[in-house]
Chains A and B, each alone.
Chain A
Amino acid sequence: MKIFLTLSKISAAVLLLLLGACDSDESKDTSSLIFKFTAKAEDELLVFGSKKYTTPLQQSITIERLDFYLSNIQIKDAKSDTYYSEPDSYRLLSFDQDQATVTFMVENIPADFEISEIKMAIGVDSEANTSIDHVGDLDPTNGMAWDWNTGYKFLSLEGRYFDGNNELGQEIKMHIGTDKNYAPVSLTFDEPFKIVGAFTLVYAVDALAPFGTVDLEEGTVFMNDERGDQVALDYRNHLLLIEETFGFVK
């Protein structure tokens, strides 16, 4: 009996030690912010592949997959007017019929931050665009790289266009990149907040945004040309919409 007692005491001590190891000093000083992105069209969850959607120019399309880079996430503290920058902040968000939601966490944000602004960009900045140090998700084998001179696709959208004549439809390929299409987006909060618990920012990704003003009758491949630039203009302010935030205390 005595032995059992001793053992359980030892176990308790070991358990405490283990728990102590998890509760590192760092976690007391930092917080994490969860970003959640959901692919949508016409304010509903996007149905990939099968469902036909209508573009603003009333053209009939399906969307098979959507991939884009988010980069350089920065979080501003209202008190000190300083930003926390996520290191190697290049994240590839991929949506298809198996994955309509992408979630990631930005860690090591100073815990005393009162967040008043979140900055990020759609695309890859010019410095990283032609570097061979593929940090973050900048892996050239992800299917998003063109070559070492022109860099990465910022957004890749694959789908089909049905013009009424061809039952099969024809392939839509939006492969948008190049430095001038790098699109910073900023979200500001009138009332700064502190991160408490699992604070989550929920974004809708509007998969129809890249179709804003383009006429598919003129062609369905959009790359490093004027028509690709038009797609980038269409999506830069409309691709990401903040839908909801939850878990914060003012």
Chain B
Amino acid sequence: MKIRLLIGWISLMLLVACTDDTTIRSPTPYQFEPPILFGDGFEIPNDNPFTEEGIALGRNLFYEKMLSRNNQISCGTCHQQSKAFTDGAAFSTGLDGALTSKSSMSLVNLHWQSKFFWDGRALSLEAQALQPIQDHIEMDLPIEEAVSRLTESNTYRKQFAAAFETEEISGDLIAKALSQFMRTLVSSNSRYDQHLLGENVLTDQEKLGMDLFFTHPVANTGLRGGNCGDCHKTILTSGDRKDFLGFNNNGLDVDDNLEDGLMATTGKPEDKGKFKAPSLRNIELTAPYMHDGRFATLEEVLDHYNSNVQTSSTLDQQIVEATNLPEAVLPVKLGLTEEEKEAIIAFLHTLTDETFITNENFSDPFEN
């Protein structure tokens, strides 16, 4: 009889454990649906699963000025939604007015990227997330100080508890929340996407530009191409995810002036002057261009690839060997006509995604 009572009691406890009335509530899993054209070839880290609460916390942290030493700037200062999460400047301005050494990168479709920063020094988004906060020019806040500021806030303690089931805030959890939010920044509703899904939304000029964009020219057969897709690959228009293949020396400078680029990360001399091939999605909104913002317009970018490529020992071989002119030799002449350049630029404009830059889920929650 006693045993029966015991069993009954245990069963009751088990039932109670299954109801919602328990004090520790698990965060709500967020079901991420990849865009149909992108496929599901991405990984969400096992130790940082998507949750509704984690994403909401990450959004607050992204726009939280308390994460800079003087409470003046947030991640969102240099990554503005209206500019596809760039800041419109060649170099970003840090909290004391000093300039950073690189142009702010667009944050988009980060699931499908594997190395972060222009020099690829962060191997995960989580590893990337804390660096600008601590960078002396950018936000200049030691992570311990960030943790203690957030810990003083009742609201943040509650939000961390809701997202990670602990009120013990840490740098690791700040990085995880920021990464969860940044992973939601998916852009997949440009006219290019609509075209691929069968809608008749591109002009003939844009279609010509698309074909040129993705074609590696073969001069002796007359196959004309802009040679862009060799580095800015297919649907994502970003670099190859494998190893450091998505980094290229695209001929900005001669050997004497080459910056270290990827070499700073890998230590390999053959990587000198290589930088991350960024996604070109929303490129219309992310001027100026290149890692140092040296080109103000897309026309200047096309002119560079068409006739101003500088020769160096690590210049990408796909640029070295690509030309539309059978007789062309280095320095590289891609040999596009004005009409072809204009068509490629017209295609680049089809990569603009209005829903991405107006999606309220990505906006500054403190603004209203």
* Cα–Cα distance between A76 and B314 once the two chains are bound (Å): 50
Interface membership of A84, Cβ < 8 A? no
Q: What is the minimal beta-carbon distance from A80 to any residue of chain B, in angstroms?
A: 37
Interface membership of A5, Cβ < 8 A? no
Q: What is the minimal beta-carbon distance from A50 to any residue of chain B, in angstroms?
A: 11
* Chain A binder among B170-178, B235-243, B350-358: B235-243
CB-CB under 8 A from A171, the residues of chain B are 316-318
Q: Is the CB of B270 within 8 A of A141?
A: no
User: Which of A146, A160, A224 has a CB less than 8 Å from the CB of B218?
Assistant: A224
CB-CB under 8 A from B269, the residues of chain A are 168
On chain B, the number of residues with a Cβ less than 8 Å from chain A's Cβ atoms is: 40
A168 with B314: in contact, given A140-B37, A141-B41, A220-B321 (CB under 8 Å)? yes
Q: Is the CB of A173 within 8 A of B242?
A: no
* Cα–Cα distance between A150 and B215 once the two chains are bound (Å): 9
Instruction: Annotate B214-233 by CB proximity to A: 1 below 8 A, 0 otherwise.
Output: 11101011010000011001
Segment 45-96 of A: residues with Cβ below 8 Å from B:
64-65, 67, 94, 96
Q: Is the CB of B234 within 8 A of A147?
A: yes
Segment 26-55 of B: residues with Cβ below 8 Å from A:
37-42
Q: Is the CB of A139 within 8 A of B218?
A: no
User: Which of B223, B314, B318 has a CB less than 8 Å from the CB of A224?
Assistant: B223
A132 with B243: in contact, given A141-B41, A221-B317 (CB under 8 Å)? no
A141 with B42: in contact, given A160-B270, A224-B223 (CB under 8 Å)? yes
Interface membership of A8, Cβ < 8 A? no
Interface membership of A234, Cβ < 8 A? no
Instruction: Annotate B122-162 by CB proximity to A: 1 below 8 A, 0 otherwise.
Output: 00000000000000000000000000000000000000000
Interface membership of B313, Cβ < 8 A? yes
User: Which of A140, A158, A168 has a CB less than 8 Å from the CB of B39?
Assistant: A140
A142 with B270: in contact, given A221-B317, A223-B216 (CB under 8 Å)? no
Interface membership of B196, Cβ < 8 A? yes
On chain A, the number of residues with a Cβ less than 8 Å from chain B's Cβ atoms is: 35
Instruction: Annotate A201-232 by CB proximity to B: 1 below 8 A, 0 otherwise.
Output: 00000000000000000011101110000000
Interface membership of A239, Cβ < 8 A? no
Q: Which has the most chain A C-beta neighbours within 10 Å: B3, B216, B236? A: B216
Interface membership of B112, Cβ < 8 A? yes
A146 with B229: in contact, given A139-B41, A141-B42, A225-B218 (CB under 8 Å)? yes
Interface membership of A143, Cβ < 8 A? yes
* Cα–Cα distance between A94 and B316 once the two chains are bound (Å): 23
Interface membership of B245, Cβ < 8 A? yes
User: Which of A65, A148, A168 has a CB less than 8 Å from the CB of B243?
Assistant: A65
Instruction: Annotate B176-208 by CB proximity to A: 1 below 8 A, 0 otherwise.
Output: 000000000000000000001100000000000
Interface membership of A24, Cβ < 8 A? no
User: Which of A65, A141, A220 has a CB less than 8 Å from the CB of B317?
Assistant: A220
Interface membership of A9, Cβ < 8 A? no
Q: Is the CB of B233 within 8 A of A145?
A: yes
A64 with B313: in contact, given A3-B3, A146-B214, A168-B269 (CB under 8 Å)? no
User: Which of B242, B317, B318 has a CB less than 8 Å from the CB of A143?
Assistant: B242
Q: Is the CB of A143 within 8 A of B270?
A: no
CB-CB under 8 A from B320, the residues of chain A are 170, 221
Q: Is the CB of B241 within 8 A of A143?
A: yes
CB-CB under 8 A from A140, the residues of chain B are 37-39, 234-235
User: Which of B112, B230, B270, B321 has a CB less than 8 Å from the CB of A168?
Assistant: B270
Q: What is the minimal beta-carbon distance from B184 to any residue of chain A, in angstroms?
A: 17
* Cα–Cα distance between A67 and B239 once the two chains are bound (Å): 16
A158 with B112: in contact, given A143-B240, A149-B214, A224-B218 (CB under 8 Å)? no
Q: What is the minimal beta-carbon distance from B202 to any residue of chain A, in angstroms?
A: 12
Q: What is the minimal beta-carbon distance from B36 to any residue of chain A, in angstroms?
A: 8
A149 with B41: in contact, given A3-B3, A173-B317 (CB under 8 Å)? no
Which 4 A-B pairs have CB atoms at the shortest separation, nearest pair first? A147-B214, A139-B39, A139-B41, A171-B317
Q: Which B residues fall within an 8 A CB radius of A?
A: 3, 37-42, 112, 196-197, 210-211, 214-216, 218, 220-221, 223, 229-230, 233-236, 240-243, 245, 269-270, 313-314, 316-318, 320-322
